[in-house]
Amino acid sequence: MCTSLSFGSPHLFGRNLDLDVPFPAQPTLTPRNFPLSFRKAGNFLHHYSFFGMATVVNGYPLYADAVNEKGLGMAGLNFPQNACYAQNCDVGKHNVSPFELIPWVLAQCATCDEAKRLLKSTNLVHLPFSQSIALTPLHWHVADASSSIVFERTNEGAFVYDNPYGVLANNPPFPEQIKSAQAQAPLFLAPMQNGRVEPSFSGDFSSPSRFLRAAILRALSPKMTEKKQSVAQFFDILSSVSPVSGAVITERGAFQETLYSCCLDFTTRTCYLRQKGDPHTHVFSYFKAQEDNRSLLSLTKKRTG
């Protein structure tokens, strides 16, 4: 269970990461001159810089979500029972593993249109990072300041969808999420009147409910004039779709909770981070000059709010 969000102007991008096991991600910058190696798609010695939440393993950043220097954001969300990766390479396409997809796109695309073209020529192939780190079934939310898309690969093939809602949850496949939202959202796209007692939109933590709730609250959000207000509103929306402990139980019998919520702002090179069990918002950032480094950089904590 996860929910991602593209919001506001200037553009903010981020997500809730909901799991029932630890995930030791940290705010991480991949600079322009950090060598990126892809298993089947070659190497990049120079590329766009990008930062977000990553687990670094053997010097390689495994990103859950990130934004690049052009303002393009991307997040991978759990997509169990539906994600289906190719077993073989396609000589007519770029063959990329799911764990490489966020660096593959953010290193070379500045807009959603560019990402859409690249993803249509990409074959998502089943290549695990290592014997001990299996591939996760994922689909991806990609967004810039003016548009949003979703990339999925199921047993029916690979698809890139326009996403007018600017949010993504998990299952079902995106066309079904859109169909459900289109059927229900027109009923609720107005602020609630004080004292109204009839039911509003769904309040559970299933994927369709979280998708619809986040999409409606995003659509109802007023235009913010200050960055502080935008960031606060961003986290308010994510909080509305964050499962409360005890509300969601997995097949293993464990409670699924939000391990972190992040808000990435490329204009100020800032990661706002909230973590499970910590009521504070921690602010991480880096300097523009560091975008030209050759080594991965753990972002520096600037303050706690």
Catalytic residues: 2
Residues 6+ apart with CB under 8 A from 47: 32, 36, 107, 108
Contact by Cβ (8 Å): 125, 40:
yes
Six-digit token pair at 283? 């602010």
Smallest CA-to-CA distance from 181 within 152, 137, 150, 155 is with 150
Residues 6+ apart with CB under 8 A from 230: 7, 8, 10, 12, 224
| Region of residue 160 (left: phi > 0; alpha: psi -120 to 50; beta: else) | beta
- Measured distance between the N- and C-terminal CA atoms of the chain, rounded to whole angstroms: 27
Six-digit token pair at 141? 């939310």
Query: What secondary structure letter does DSSP report for 132?
Result: S
CA distance 102 to 104: 5
Cis bond before residue 61 (omega within 30° of 0): no
